[in-house]
Structure formats: structure tokens, C-alpha cells
Amino acid sequence: MSVMYGWRAMLLLAGLLPAHAAHAAGTGQHLYRYGGDRVMACATCHGRHGEGGAGPRLAGLSASYIASQLHAFRNGHRPDSKMQAIATRLDTTRIQAVVRYISQLPRRSLPPLSSDAASSDVRRLLALGDRQRGIPACIHCHGADLRGGGPEIPPLAGQDAGYLARQLRLFRKGARSGWPATLMVHVSRGLKDREIAQLADTISAWTGKVVKADVKDSPSRWHPAPAGPDHFTPPDEAAVPPDHPLVAMIRQGERIFVDTPHRARTFTGDALSCANCHLDRGRLATAAPMWAAAPHFPMYRGKNRRVNTLQMRIQGCFVYSENGLPPPLNSRVMNALTAYIDWLATGMPMGEHPKAAGFPKIERPKAPTDRRHGRQVYMARCAMCHGAHGQGRSVRGKRLFPPLWGPDSFNWGAGMHKLKKAASFIRHNMPYGAGGLLSNRDAWDVAAFVDSHPRPQDPRFTGDVATTAKRFHKHPRDDFYGRKINGHVLGAPGTLKAWVRARGR
Amino acid sequence: MSVMYGWRAMLLLAGLLPAHAAHAAGTGQHLYRYGGDRVMACATCHGRHGEGGAGPRLAGLSASYIASQLHAFRNGHRPDSKMQAIATRLDTTRIQAVVRYISQLPRRSLPPLSSDAASSDVRRLLALGDRQRGIPACIHCHGADLRGGGPEIPPLAGQDAGYLARQLRLFRKGARSGWPATLMVHVSRGLKDREIAQLADTISAWTGKVVKADVKDSPSRWHPAPAGPDHFTPPDEAAVPPDHPLVAMIRQGERIFVDTPHRARTFTGDALSCANCHLDRGRLATAAPMWAAAPHFPMYRGKNRRVNTLQMRIQGCFVYSENGLPPPLNSRVMNALTAYIDWLATGMPMGEHPKAAGFPKIERPKAPTDRRHGRQVYMARCAMCHGAHGQGRSVRGKRLFPPLWGPDSFNWGAGMHKLKKAASFIRHNMPYGAGGLLSNRDAWDVAAFVDSHPRPQDPRFTGDVATTAKRFHKHPRDDFYGRKINGHVLGAPGTLKAWVRARGR
């Protein structure tokens, strides 16, 4: 319940609800620069232009982020005696005013950042994380340039190094709590002291260029020895010697895999990338990893009643999850994806069907799913990244978080429209970097909430929702296709359009 | 030298050279039935109609086979004191006469054979052999119905069981020698006493139906554990449970693999099957086994300067070795072959490039290859199956031995037109069942002889032999394309037609 309180309070504090005071900016500026009424000036520590000093840089932070942090200080979720005292002494009006002022401080007035140099280890953590220790890539949420991933995910580039290191240590020991600090508590658990210092130094000097992992690493890892199909280590991102035609193909496949809408535009009809479901670029064991899929093709699939080669299976993903067209079997997109996917399975025994194939088994709760409860959990835990309307989020022209429903998401033929699959995906992998945070029931209810929204038509549509539902959506317990939700039949022509008209795309 | 003597003598004895005596048949019949001049009647042991009795059945044997056996008795290559005495006492004229008589004894006058019952072990030996012990399938040479594989390869079905068992034991201990007995000496080495008895009983009762291996065997062998990529055991032919859609696809692929011209007619332009080069249905370690090829695709190939998927590689085989058309990537032929080939690699680590991939390394002799010597070896050791004109052989409508040159063989773009590849194939695998019999020099010279004959045009033909040779046949030491042999430029339009006109197809 405190979470829900926190969420609403945050919106309130952020002044995103009604705008009361026309002169708030003026008041905010005064408070920021000169303080008053038992509150010291923000500028004392954070600098006259929010550029930081004794305290962290504030310029560039969003109103909602500043407000939520003030709230966190006030209720003890963030440990800092000075800021806790200040936040407690401010009333709502003054908080609104100063938040609004700070959020408008121009980032461009700050001194230029210094350098994009980084050791290959740090670059790796930033760009790829470390799956062995459960550390996701920093850029996954904070943006490829580390300049922030939206209102609640602050920019990191250029932030004070001491501040960054201090916060990472606080996260790591769980001293910051509440939402979304919990995410960072999960994410930072595996970091070593040395890494925290290096990350902080590198990030604080980062100019905001796109972070790329150094791939000129040891080629000895090209053929990892698997410890058996269920303890498999896919080849490392850095394991590919860069000067071979096959490697160029594998790299191209990887680029398509992580940025499908741009790299395979012809065949893509939504805003999803392969890597949105197959996390960690197809490596994460709990997210239908490619290394577990590749070895067991060709295989028979009931869905199309045929023996499918890997390529035919990939075509299926494009038709349904990508809501697009099947890339021809001799296309470069197809060959590059095949090369990448087969490479990820290097060392896996051919014909093997490892336990990790697909999504992990998940227990079905005895009670029916509760979409209302799902909505509550979604708003508290998922909307931060995927948006209140499931629209996902792009930042500075680059898509950071995928849309979950609506016209830009997977269609009614994709596996993810089925509750069981979606619930497993959510339970084991969401929120990103903190899989397992949601309970089994939460995961099922969020899945039900997400999958009971309009999305593009099933490509197998017969012209009639009832017939299509009968032929292709036989398990109503797992599937909302053809059901009437909020006055509209899901899958009926017009339902998606009506939703777009009501919400905007 | 004795071999060449044997060869010429055989033709002479067989009366295949000039036919002297018009009344030879009459004399032969008399000799067969009543004997004379210190020679007992053949009919005494072999039966009045050649149906056998104390001695083996003779009806159905070819003239050349009977003649060569009489010759073998005479020079001690076949141990049988009674037959040795008889053969020594016969002069050439009488041998010609009796051989001619026996070879005309109608097989149909014999009593019907009894049964096609066979234990699954015997059926397996007949139809598949046992690659662990180097035993090829009986049907490979003696025909799918065991009714013989041409003049020099006798029918087995219906032969006396005691005789068969005795001969197998003689072969096994090397008591029969000379050519082609040497082949059987090789082939029978691994047979156990019990198996010889069972084989003899089964074969003698065989009615001449096509032998098929029993495939309803233990499904536990479906996933063989490889002992590392270089000691790999491909799945057993009998390992497939027959009631699964994927299995149907694998089986279909296997059928295409072993009978490509009929099962993939649309895409085949010659008389070769995949299994003609990839022996033992793609399993034999020394003959470019499929289980060693499948794991390392996709791979870069210099031949087409592209990263090739397995499917693209298969297309290459069809274009060159099959002298046909590339099966479309979504065709059933392609999917079935892919399913079969991938299945053969079950358990092989993906991405692996085992030593067995392709053909074994072979040392190049210091002296240039000698096509004349190659011709001698070919005629002595290869022509028996592949024909004096490289035309191969079909028996009772079924192709038993592939053509090696001429219009029905692989074209000038196939790997096998290169000496190094052909020499390795021959050295390690030929004569079938007795790989290693030829010396390294013999293998290279036979390769040079075979590959210096006309064959279908290189599909990459530019319209001009010299240019094509320059672009695609850069290693003249390994390649006869564009060279003038026997007055014709190989690869030149018209050379193959002239050859066909001269030899007949």
C-alpha cells in the first residue's frame, strides 16, 4: 500500500496534477538560490545553475524524479540527514515551486563533460552488464548515451563521481528503499568496490556519446565448453574475432536482433525487437534464450502443423511478434539472424531440447486472474518504463522500452498474447534486472491486464472474430481474443482504432 | 601383373572375345550333363538344371562370373580340390562351351524360393551392414533384392545355405584370393560364426524381395552421447521412432539422400545420389559425413564468397554434383534433407568443425599423376562396378553404381572433379567396402584417369572455356578443365557430345 501512496504522492508533489500557482517558478527560484524559513539554499550544495558542487548536479533531472526523491528523503527511503531535514521542513506548495524551478534548469548551460574514455571492463558493464552476476547493462534503462531513460530514470553522464559512488554503495547495501530504488538495489548487488569506483569515475566524465562494448577481446572464448545443456554458457559478446566474413554476418544478425524495427524495417510492423522478449540479446536463460532454441530445429510445431526449420520459426516471429512479413529464406535479414542465433548455441549438442527452451514453467494460481489488481501492480511497477497506456518509451529517438499493447505491439497471433507465456516472462524477468520481484499472482494479474488490451489483428483472421477465436484461440483461460473488455470485443475490427482514437498513438 | 592376366583371361574364358565354335552350346550341354575325358558331369553336384545339390546352384550366374571362378580354381585362388582338378583338366574350348551352357540355364525353371523372413539383426546386416565393424550392406553390391549386381557380382538369393556359409568362412580367413574375391575378404572380416550361419540361412530362403532394415528398434538410441566431435556416433538407422511428424520428415530426407534422381527428380540433372559420395547414407567418417558437416553451418565459403547456411550448401550440391537446379529454400526436398542431415548430427556440439568434415587429408605424390597407370588400375579394380566407360551400372531398373563421367555424372563445378578430393575419396573408400586397398599413388592416378574425361559443363561457364578455366579452375595440377585430352578440350562445347556419340550414353 505504501507503494500506491508513494506513486500518487509523487505525481502530486511533482506538480503534474493541477498547476496551482502561476508565480511558482519565481518562488522556486528564490527558494533554490536563497533558501528561507529554516531551509538552506539548494544552490549552496547543488550550485547556482544546478551544476552540482558539494551535492549532486540537479540540472537535467525531471520534475517527477526530483519530487519522488524529495518524497523519499521525507519518508526515510533515502538516507541523508541534511536532505531529510530539508524535505521534512518544506510544505507541498514550496516543494512544487522548487521542483518546477529545478526541472527547468537548462542542462546546456553546464560546463562540457570531459571524456568518453573507459576501460574495456567498465565499457562492458555499461553496455552489456554481467549476466553471471545478474547485473544488467546500465544503458538498458539509462539510455545508450547514459543521459537518462525518461522522467523517472535520471541521467548519469556528467554526474558527480563521488555522489554516484556513494549512491551505488547505498543501493548495494539496501540503504535506499521504496520504488524505484528497489530496482537499483537488485541491480547493484553484484558490484565490487573497485567496479563502483571505476563506474562512477567513467560515468561522471562521460560526454554523452553512445556506449559501445569493446569486442576485441579474447578469441579463446569463441568455443565455450558447455557444462551440459542445462548449464550452458553462450558465447560471450566479446568473443568474436572481428575480421572474418562469418563474424560480420553474426554481428549483423546481432544488430537486427536488438534493433529489429530499424535493421529489418521491411519485415517489421511494430516497434518491437527480438531482444525485447529474448532478453540479454537472446542469452538470458529465463527469457526464451536462443542458445536453447537453435539446437532443436528442425522440429514439429503444432501451430502451423509442419516441421519447422529454424528459419521458418524466425518467419513466425516476424509474422506474429513483429506483426510484419516473413523475411524470405534467402534474405540477408534471415541469414544474418540465423548466423547469430546458431552462433549463440555454439557448443550446444545438436538435437538437444534443453530445459531452458522457451519460458520457464509457471504455476497457475487457483483463483482466476484479476485484471484490476493487475492494473494496480502494472501502474506501480511497470508503467514507469512501459507507460500508463502500454506505449513503451523512446528517448532521444531511440526506443528504450517496448510497447505492450496498442498498434505498435505484437499482434493477436504472437505467443505473448497468451497469459501463461506472458505471466512466465513477467514473473521471471520483470521488472528488468529484478526478475522475481513480483509474486506469482502479481505476474498472472499483470499478464491479464496487459493481454486484455487491444492490439493488431491476428494474421490468421478469418474475417470473423468468433470463428477466428474458435479456430486459433481455444483456451479462453489463457487468451482474451474475442472477449468483450471495457465495451469492446478484443480482436474485432475497429476495437484497436477506437482505442487509438481515445488514447492517441 | 597376375591381376591383368586374370582380367584378360577372364574375358577370354568367358567367350566374350570372338565366338569360335557354333556348336559350343551343344558340347557344353553334353559336358554339363554327362561329363567325359576325366571330367565328371557338372550335373552330378550342381543339378540337372543348375539348381544345385551337393554343389551350389549355378543357374542365374553370368558367363563372366562362371569363367572367372573356373579360372580361380585353376590357379588356386579358390580352394576346392574337386573343382580345382576339374578346372585344370578342361581345355579352353570346353570351358567356353560349358560356361556358355551354364550361363543360359533359365533361372525361372528352378523351384520357388521359400520365405523373406529374417531376424532384425540379419535384416540389418543385409540392408545396412555394420559400420563399427567395417561391414558394408550386402545389398549395396548384390542388389536390393539380393539377386545379383551385374555379371561379376553373383545373385545370392536362393543359393544353397551350406555353400554360402562355407564361402563366407573361406573369405573370412582369406582362403579365397585374387580379384574380386579380395573384396569379400575385406567385407567378411568382421562377421561372427553365428552371423554367417544366420545370413546363409536367410539368404538361401530369400525370395528376391527388396530387403529393408527393421527400423522399429530401441528409441533409446535417439540421442547418442558423442564421445567428442572426433569420435562421434551418428544416430542409428534403427533409432527413429516411426510415429512422429519430424521422423516422417527425417525418413523422407533419407530416401531423397539415397535415391536423389527419383526422389528429387525436379532438381537433379544426372544419375547421382547424395549417398554416392556421402557413403553409408551420410555416416561414413571418411566420406564427407553429414554429421561432421551440419554443425559448422552457417559458414563462409570461398566458392561463392558468401556465408552459407546448410541449405545454401545443399543447393550447391544440387547445382554441381547433381548437375541440376537448387531446390527452393522452402521446398519439401530442402526441408527433408535438412531434417535428415541435422538429425545425423544429433549430439554433435553446434559450431564444431570436426576433423571428419569433408574428405580426409591425403598426401600428394611427388611424381605427376599418370593417367595411363590410372586407367590400368581403374580397369582392374573399378570397372567391375563403374563400367569400362565410367557409366556405372543399373540392375533391374535400380541404379547400383554411379556413373563417374559422361553425361550422367557430376559436372565440372562439382568438388569431385578436383583430383585432390577425388583421390582422397578413392584412397579411403574405394573399392566400396575395402577402402585402403589401393595405394596412395593408385588413388591419385585413378582420380586423374576419372577426372580427365568429359562431363557436363560447369554451370558457371562464361561462354568461353579459357575464361571459365581462368576464373574457376585455377589449379591445373588438380583440375583437367580446359585441358586437351585425347584430341578434345575438356569443358569445350561439343566435347561431351562427341564422347556420347563415340561411346553411346
Interchain pair B299, A246: CB under 8 A? yes
pLDDT at B219: 36
Q: How confident is the model at residue B247 (pLDDT cuts 50, 70, 90)?
A: confident
pLDDT number for residue B215: 57
Contacts for A164 with CB less than 8 Å, ≥ 6 apart:
A156, A199, A200, A203, A204
Contacts of B474 by beta carbon, 8 Å cutoff, 6+ apart:
none
Q: How many CB pairs under 8 A join A and B?
A: 97
Grid coordinates given for B291: 554429421
Q: Closest to B349 (Cβ–Cβ): which among A245, A329, A348? A: A348
The yes-or-no verdict on residue B110 having pLDDT over 80 is no
Lowest-confidence pick of A65-69, A179-183, B18-22, B354-358 = B18-22
Has residue B42 got a pLDDT over 90? Answer: yes
User: Which pLDDT value is given to residue A120?
Assistant: 82
Q: In whole angstroms, what is the distance from residue A325 CA to residue A334 CA? A: 12
Bond preceding residue B298 cis, omega within 30 of 0? yes
Please give the DSSP secondary-structure letter assigned to residue A357: S
Instruction: Name the residue among A244, A307, A311 with its Cβ closest to that of B245.
Output: A307
As a whole number, the mean pLDDT across chain B is: 88
Q: What pLDDT band is residue A448 in, cutting at 50, 70 and 90?
A: very high
Residues 6+ apart with CB under 8 A from B27: B21, B93, B94, B97
pLDDT digits (tens, 9 = 90+) for A338-392: 999 999 998 899 988 888 999 999 999 999 999 999 999 999 999 999 999 999 9
Who has greater pLDDT, A406 or B5? A406
Å between A328 CA and nearest CA of chain B:
9
pLDDT bucket at B6, cuts 50 / 70 / 90:
very low
Question: End-to-end alpha-carbon separation of chain B, Å?
Answer: 31
Say if residues A287 and A280 touch (Cβ distance below 8 Å): yes
Task: Measure the CA–CA gap between B137 and B126, rounded to whole angstroms.
Answer: 5
- For B16-26, the pLDDT digits (tens) are 444 444 444 46
Residue of chain B with shortest Cα separation from A343: B351
With residue A316 as reference, give the H or E element that holds it.
helix A310-319
Per-residue model confidence as pLDDT tens digits over A409-421: 999 999 999 999 9
pLDDT value of position B117: 77
Q: Residues of B near A (CB-CB distance < 8 A)?
A: 223, 226, 244-246, 249, 294-295, 297-300, 305-307, 309, 311-312, 329-330, 335, 338-339, 342-343, 345-352
Our measurement of the distance from residue A2's CA atom to the centroid of its chain's CA atoms, rounded to an integer in Å, reads 24
Q: Which residue of B has its CA nearest to A331?
A: B329
Whose cell is 576419372? That residue is: B450
Compute the distance between CA of residue A252 and CA of residue B334 in angstroms, rounded to an integer.
25
Q: Mind spelling out the 3-state secondary structure of B221-279? A: HHCCCCCCHHHCCCCCHHHCCCCCHHHHHHHHHHHHHHCHHHHCHHHCCCCCCHHHHCH
Average pLDDT of chain A to the nearest whole number: 88
How far is the CA of B113 from the CAs of A353, B170, B212, B494, in angstroms? 48, 25, 18, 50
Of A129-133, A466-470, B143-147, least confident by mean pLDDT is A129-133
Whether A110 has a pLDDT exceeding 50, the answer reads: yes
Q: What percent of chain A has pLDDT over 90?
A: 72
Reported as a pLDDT band with limits 50, 70 and 90, residue A25 is very low
Q: A185-210, pLDDT tens digit by residue?
A: 999 999 999 999 999 999 999 888 88
pLDDT at residue A238 tops 70? no
| pLDDT tens digits along B402-441 | 999 999 999 999 999 999 999 999 999 999 989 999 999 9
- The pLDDT assigned to A325 comes to 97
Number of Cβ within a 10 Å radius of residue A268: 22
Closest residue in A to B305 (Cα) is A245
In tens, the pLDDT along B262-277 reads 999 999 999 999 999 9
Residue of A nearest to B343 (CA): A351
> Which residue of chain B has the CA closest to A345?
B350
Q: Hey, are the CB atoms on B335 and A300 less than 8 Å from each other?
A: no
The answer to whether A66 and A80 have CB atoms below 8 angstroms apart is no
Residue A330: its chain B contacts at CB < 8 A? Answer: 312, 329
Cross-chain CB nearest to B348 (options A330, A343, A350): A350
Q: Which residues of chain B make contact with A295, given a CB cutoff of 8 A?
A: 350
| Chain B contact set for A246 (CB, 8 A) | 298-300, 307
| pLDDT tens-digit readout, B287-322 | 999 999 999 999 999 999 999 999 999 999 999 999
Chain A contacts of B337, Cβ < 8 Å? none
* Helix (H) or strand (E) segment spanning residue B500: helix B495-503
Provide the grid cell at A452: 486484455
Give yes or no for residue B124 having a pLDDT over 60: yes
Residues of A with CB under 8 A from a CB of B: 223, 226, 244-246, 249, 294-295, 297-300, 305-307, 309, 311-312, 328-330, 335, 338-339, 342-343, 345-352
pLDDT the model gives residue A243: 66
Determine the pLDDT at residue B86.
Answer: 94
Decide if pLDDT at B237 tops 90: no
pLDDT confidence tier of residue B134, bands split at 50, 70 and 90: confident
Per-residue confidence band for A505, with pLDDT thresholds at 50, 70 and 90 = low
Encode pLDDT of A119-132 as tens digits.
Answer: 888 998 999 888 77
The pLDDT, as a whole number, for residue B21 is 40
pLDDT (0 to 100) of residue A237: 72
Residues of A in contact with B329 (CB under 8 A): 311, 328-330
Structural Rg of chain B based on CA atoms: 24
What pLDDT does A4 receive?
41
* Cross-chain Cβ contact A311/B311 below 8 Å: yes
Interchain contact, B350 vs A351, CB within 8 Å: no
Please state, in angstroms and rounded to a whole number, the distance separating the CA atoms of residues B187 and A449: 70
